[in-house]
């Protein structure tokens, strides 16, 4: 599977059919290929081939999103990490291997790396910050933001439509 950041910019060609299929999968990735095919007016194998191509090229990711709080990890923390010169990749790899870390991104600005961690309680957050991160050679400084409440997490971003007329408007023009 292609990971985020591995596919070179603009390398996945998409047409209107791909965009329509993506729009139908977004709210329910388990939707059947047959129902999508009926709605977009093509055969089921065509939909299957299109989805398989979009997945293999890294344009979409098949996944189930876990709700950390519901399974015992209600403490959500974002941590900005500054590393000593030459340590970014090694520190990032160590962070990515940690079971409580859900996101590792290399950044510009005040921090070299930004991570998101899910923990069982405040004591777990304390241990993570003061013991687990302390064991990683190369970390120079951290700053932590304990997320108290989340009103929006957007996994419905329609990036395939940026700079294009919305699909609903295309149907209305017909």
pLDDT grade, residue 79 (50/70/90)? very high
Which tokens hold the place of 100? 């409580």
pLDDT tens sequence across 96-120? 999 999 999 999 999 999 999 999 9
The residue whose two tokens read 């059919």 is 17
Helices and strands (H, E) in the chain, number of each type: 6, 4
**pLDDT at residue 125 tops 70:** yes
Question: How is residue 19 annotated by DSSP?
Answer: H
Residue-range domains of the chain with CATH: 14-65 (1.10.10.10), 69-147 (3.30.70.920)
Name residue, tokens 């390398």. Answer: 11
Per the DSSP assignment, residues forming a β-bridge with 77 are 117, 146
The whole-number average pLDDT for the span 23-43 is 93
Fill in the DSSP letter of residue 121: S
1-19: average pLDDT: 71
Residue 51 has pLDDT above 80, yes or no: yes
Q: Are 6 and 26 in contact (CB under 8 A)?
A: no
The CA–CA distances, whole Å, from 85 to 43, 55, 91, 145, 148 equal 54, 36, 11, 24, 32
Instruction: Give me the pLDDT at residue 142, please.
Output: 97
- Could you read off the pLDDT of 141-168 as tens digits, one per residue? 999 999 998 887 766 666 666 666 665 5
Residues with Cβ within 8 Å of 164's Cβ and at least 6 positions away in sequence, in order, are: 19
Q: What is the per-residue pLDDT for 1?
A: 47
Mean pLDDT for the stretch of residues 52-81: 89
**Residue 129: its pLDDT value, please?**
97
According to DSSP, residue 7 is labeled S
Q: What's residue 168's pLDDT?
A: 59
Pull the structure tokens for residue 5. 């950041």
Q: What is the pLDDT of residue 156?
A: 61
Token pair 């991160």 is found at: 133
For residue 169, what is the enclosing H or E element? helix 167-173
């Amino acid at each position: 599977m292609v990971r985020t950041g591995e596919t070179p910019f603009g390398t996945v060609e998409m047409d209107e059919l791909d965009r329509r299929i993506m729009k139908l999968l977004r709210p329910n990735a388990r939707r059947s290929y047959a129902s999508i095919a009926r709605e977009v007016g093509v055969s089921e194998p065509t939909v299957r081939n299109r989805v398989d191509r979009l997945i293999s090229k890294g344009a979409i990711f098949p996944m189930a999103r876990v709700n950390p709080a519901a399974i015992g990890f209600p403490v959500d923390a974002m941590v900005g990490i500054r590393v000593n010169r030459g340590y970014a990749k090694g520190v990032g790899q160590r962070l990515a291997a940690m079971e409580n870390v859900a996101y590792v991104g290399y950044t510009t600005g005040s921090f070299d790396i930004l991570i998101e961690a899910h923990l069982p309680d405040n004591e777990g957050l304390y241990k993570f910050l003061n013991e687990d991160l302390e064991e990683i050679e190369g970390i120079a400084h951290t700053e932590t933001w304990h997320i108290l409440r989340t009103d929006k997490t957007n996994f419905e971003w329609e990036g395939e439509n940026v700079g294009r007329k919305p699909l609903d408007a295309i149907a209305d023009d017909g």
